[in-house]
């Protein structure tokens, strides 16, 4: 992957991995129920040139090269495997979206997804229902020695942040990923793993109810980030993700099967070009 494309992807991943960002006093924030205006067009770029969901500026939300199922997965915090019922074009047709957000304040990731859910309903006519199904999942549990997490000194309703930084290797490819968490809950951590990094639903079974500060470093493999990032070299010093979670956070990620809420598409239509 060219370095420029990798940097664009890294910026997009940083947006994807941030469920909340530092913001203004909630009483001064606009209501982010819907985009003020949105342009939706069929994507013209090749997949290899990059795909992202990001804030291009404080008031401009941008999607590049995404299928409708990928948009639904992002908007509803799901993996693609948990979406069913749509016509084949929801998995193949790709779209570019540029939208204006209300006011002058940059919306948090959660607020962006609220507006994306409204856009899917309003412009794609999406209606759906939920079904409980048994899937291959990952469970997060505690290591026998207990968690290695620093309790956050902030209040639960203070801003929280789970982001990531991609460090390219000098010889090309990826050296490692750094994911700092600040005032983050285990539910947020599981959500980040599920929607951006791993290929199946992630369920928090740690029993931890607090908020924590942590810093996770690992070398990614080709199965993470939807295959969009090149795998790190095996001779690099950072461990893989599962080992890093165990040694650095005192948590364990285990592959198993279990019930999760899925989304079944009842109705959807292609948007008109604009």
Q: Name the 3-class secondary structure at 31.
A: coil
Least confident of 16-20, 102-106, 144-148: 16-20
- Within 8 A by CB and 6+ apart from 19, the residues are 108, 109, 110, 160, 161, 162, 188, 191, 192
- Please count the structural domains in the chain: 2
Determine, yes or no, domain membership for 139. yes
Answer yes or no: is 270 within a domain. Answer: no
The residue among 127, 160, 179 that closes a domain is 127
Backbone dihedral region of 225: left (phi > 0), alpha (psi from -120 to 50 degrees) or beta?
Answer: left
* Top-confidence residue, 267 or 30: 267
Q: How confident is the model at residue 20 (pLDDT cuts 50, 70, 90)?
A: very low
- pLDDT band at residue 218 under the 50/70/90 scheme: very high
End position of a domain, from candidates 81, 110, 127: 127
- Domain shared by 250 and 183, yes or no: yes
Higher-pLDDT residue of 75 and 109 is 75
Check whether 2 has a pLDDT greater than 50: no
Enclosing domain of residue 171: 134-259
Question: Is it the case that residue 273 has pLDDT exceeding 50?
Answer: yes
Query: Are 139 and 187 within one domain?
Result: yes
Q: Which of 127, 148, 167 is the last residue of a domain?
A: 127
Q: Are residues 141 and 123 in the same domain?
A: no
């Amino acid at each position: 992957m060219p370095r420029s494309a990798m940097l664009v992807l890294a910026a997009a991943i940083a947006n994807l991995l941030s469920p909340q960002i530092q913001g203004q006093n909630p009483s001064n924030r606009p209501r982010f129920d819907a985009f003020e205006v949105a342009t939706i067009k069929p994507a013209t770029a090749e997949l290899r040139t990059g795909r992202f969901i990001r804030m291009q500026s404080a008031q401009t939300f941008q999607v590049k090269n995404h299928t409708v199922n990928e948009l639904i997965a992002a908007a509803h915090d799901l993996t693609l495997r948990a979406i069913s019922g749509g016509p084949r074009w929801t998995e193949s047709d790709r779209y570019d979206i540029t939208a204006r957000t209300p006011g002058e304040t940059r919306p948090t990731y959660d607020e962006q997804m609220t507006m994306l859910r409204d856009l899917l309903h309003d412009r794609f006519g999406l209606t759906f229902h939920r079904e409980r199904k048994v899937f291959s999942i990952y469970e997060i549990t505690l290591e026998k020695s207990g968690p290695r997490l620093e309790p956050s000194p902030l209040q639960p309703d203070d801003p929280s942040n789970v982001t990531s930084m991609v460090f390219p290797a000098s010889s090309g490819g990826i050296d490692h990923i750094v994911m700092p968490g600040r005032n983050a809950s285990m539910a947020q951590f599981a959500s980040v793993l599920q929607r951006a990094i791993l290929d199946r639903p992630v369920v928090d079974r740690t029993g931890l109810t607090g908020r924590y500060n942590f810093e996770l470093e690992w070398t990614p493999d080709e199965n993470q980030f939807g295959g969009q990032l090149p795998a790190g070299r095996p001779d690099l010093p950072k461990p893989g993700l599962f080992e890093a979670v165990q040694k650095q956070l005192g948590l364990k990620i285990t592959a198993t099967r279990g019930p999760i809420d899925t989304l079944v598409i009842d109705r959807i239509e292609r948007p008109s070009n604009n």
